[in-house]
């Protein structure tokens, strides 16, 4: 079977899914962070397939994540933009792509990233979720004004 992504005949690295979401064109090596930012862990129910460093026509290397029986919401999709802004989302129903869309960087992200400032009120037992405004320089903590300008993934909750 011809691989649609690489154009060669190695066959699909990961089997097609009947229903769910395929997150394609993830920057090479970022698939595990995408899974993390979506809050998918060993205790959640999704069947999950990951392919990393796959050859791509448009990108040097890309990752792919396939989630069976789960369609991502717009908010979940936009989280992915924080770590892989070129990613594309394919919603699959009965083996067919019924919706294909890009990701948009959200204006505000809540409960996904931990504020690195140990003195920030969001790092206490208060009943709030961390909240960051996405600005050109990075992520701005809405509580303590701390800026995350690099290494975002290590601060993902």
Contact residues for other proteins (CB under 8 A)? 108, 110, 117, 119-122, 124-128, 131, 133, 141-147
> Could you tell me the two tokens for 64?
């792919």
Spatial separation of the C-alpha atoms in residues 151 and 13, rounded to whole Å? 30
Whole-number minimum distance, CB 113 to other proteins, in Å? Answer: 15
Nearer Cβ to other proteins (28/138): 138
Whole-number minimum distance, CB 126 to other proteins, in Å? Answer: 5
Residue found under tokens 């011809």 = 2
Nearer Cβ to other proteins (91/120): 120
Which class for 100: exposed (0-12), middle (13-18), buried (19 or more C-beta within 10 A)?
exposed
Whole-number minimum distance, CB 102 to other proteins, in Å? Answer: 23
Nearer Cβ to other proteins (57/137): 137
Whether the CB-CB separation of 71 and 20 falls below 8 Å is answered with: yes
Spatial separation of the C-alpha atoms in residues 157 and 149, rounded to whole Å? 17
Nearer Cβ to other proteins (26/148): 148
Whole-number minimum distance, CB 86 to other proteins, in Å? Answer: 28
Whether the CB-CB separation of 105 and 81 falls below 8 Å is answered with: yes
Residues in the chain: 157
Residue found under tokens 């290397």 = 61
Whole-number minimum distance, CB 96 to other proteins, in Å? Answer: 36
Nearer Cβ to other proteins (90/130): 130
């Amino acid at each position: 079977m011809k691989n649609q992504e690489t154009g060669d005949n190695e066959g699909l690295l990961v089997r097609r899914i009947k229903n769910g979401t395929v997150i394609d064109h993830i920057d090479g090596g970022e698939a595990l962070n995408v899974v993390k930012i979506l809050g998918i862990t060993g205790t959640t129910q999704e069947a999950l397939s990951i392919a990393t460093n796959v050859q791509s026509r448009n990108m040097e290397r890309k990752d792919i994540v396939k989630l069976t029986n789960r369609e991502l919401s717009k908010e979940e999709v936009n989280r992915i933009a924080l770590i892989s802004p070129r990613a594309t989302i394919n919603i699959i129903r009965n083996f067919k792509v019924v919706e294909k869309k890009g990701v948009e960087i959200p204006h505000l992200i809540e409960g996904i990233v931990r504020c690195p400032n140990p003195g920030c009120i969001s790092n206490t037992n208060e009943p709030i979720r961390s909240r960051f405004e996405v600005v050109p320089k990075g992520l701005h903590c809405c509580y303590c004004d701390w800026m995350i300008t690099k290494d975002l993934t290590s601060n993902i909750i």
